[in-house]
Structure 1
Amino acid sequence: MGLDTAADYVAGARNLLQDRVEPHRFGTDQLVEALNYAFGEIARMRPDMLLEGRYTVRLRRRELFEPLSAPRFHADDLSAQAVPLPLQYRLAVLYFVAGYVQLYDDEQTQDERASALVAKFEQQLTAVKA
């Protein structure tokens, strides 16, 4: 699985959640919402990931800057929606999606795993390894 499209993230999250048999415990809308929230967190913690390379060119005029905006995904036609992330951060976003939907699960036994997945997302997004 390449994690190139929103459909890849939905399928990958279903694998992590062991939710492959229909009817699904977690709806596609919930998983897509979690993917959108992941990009909100990326914008907060690592806005440089949303610049699309513009930060490598020195800009002189203020009006050349565009406001940062995270992509929004919709539940229809997920396979056509590319997820613009560097390869090394794609698995971290998958962890966030799975952890986020588990936090809304009503079983107390899932909270620890969900929190661990979201923490792993944050750690992988912000860690610098020598």
Structure 2
Amino acid sequence: MTIQSAPVRAPAVGALPPTPLSPARMPDWHARVEGPSFRRLVQAKRQTIGWLLGLSLGFFFLTLLLAGYARPFMATKAFGALNIGYVLVIAIYLVTWGAALLYTLAAHRTFDPLAAAARDAAIGEGAR
């Protein structure tokens, strides 16, 4: 059994090859990306992601360091059969979910209005 490709059609007689958009019709993405509304959006996202990532990774690595270098502390009983090590491992999951929820909250409250403003500014520039 062989694989057959779709037949290639020959161009119509007298047909012109497709041409790229003329420079006058191409959108000026550099101007839109350098605009103040888009810069505010990127800055807000970087700041939020930086804090959330830094805090969650910091907690994760703190737990790893404690597990490696503070074994007696991690073996201390916290609740019944659970020791501090297990509590911190469970807390890693809670911190991860908390970071995801905080990012979602920031996306709805901060990023979406900034993205709409950047989109409106880009559409306004494109109409000129």
The alignment's TM-score, normalised by the length of structure 1, stands at 0.25
Greater helix content: 2
The alignment's TM-score, normalised by the length of structure 2, stands at 0.25
> Rg bigger for which structure?
2
